[in-house]
Amino acid sequence: MASTPLRVLVITGSVRRGRLSDRVSTFVMQRLARLDGVAAELADLGAIDLPVMEERLGRIDPPPPGLVELGAAIEGADAIVIVSPEYNHGYPGALKNALDYFLPQFKRTPVALVTVSGGGHGGVNAWAQLVTVLVYMGAFVLPQTVAVAKVQDSFAADGTAIDPAYEKRVDGMLAELVWLAGRLRD
């Protein structure tokens, strides 16, 4: 009997109107769809519209719409990919706000980071900040990462990689993520 698929959750960390990094999330979902034994799900923070965090999940009654579902998706995931833009040498406040609703849900969860910038550095500053936060939260942050520079030139609106080098980079990162998630699940 085939084993249950590994559940990989892709979180889009941008809620900006006219955003571009959702193209990268679409691309990651497309690459995940090519993998056997993987069931991918997308959590788009732009579609959830979480209010400013006043208390963590489990301590707010009633919880804001979408929060319980997001928490269940994170908790149920065998692995997570966070796609985050870089804003002012950091990652977006909306993403930090979402992360702060949670803590135990990330424990021992393999997390891969994909950072996105309009400039040439690929969001390395956002990456450094996310590593700090996620390690504190107990996630196993993957050393393999993908930094997308000049997203406007690198990805088309439908998520196609204009620069095909991203196919190899993302596939390599996902292979490591799926390997680790499989080991941890077993």
> SS3 for 33?
helix
Task: Read off the DSSP letter of residue 53.
Answer: P
Q: Which residues make up the interface to ligand FMN (CB under 6 A)? A: 14, 16, 19-21, 85-89, 116-119, 121, 151
Q: Which is nearer to ligand FMN, 148 or 174 (CB)?
A: 148
Shortest distance, position 90 Cβ to ligand FMN, whole Å: 8
Closest separation in Å from C-beta 133 to ligand FMN: 17
Residue 7 or residue 19: which is nearer to ligand FMN going by CB?
19
Token pair in block for residue 99? 């992360």
Nearer to ligand FMN, 19 or 96 (CB): 19
Chain position carrying tokens 């930094």: 147
Q: At 132, which amino acid appears?
A: T
Give the nearest distance from C-beta 170 to ligand FMN in angstroms. Answer: 17
Structural tokens at position 181: 């998630």
Separation CA 87–CA 172 (nearest Å):
26
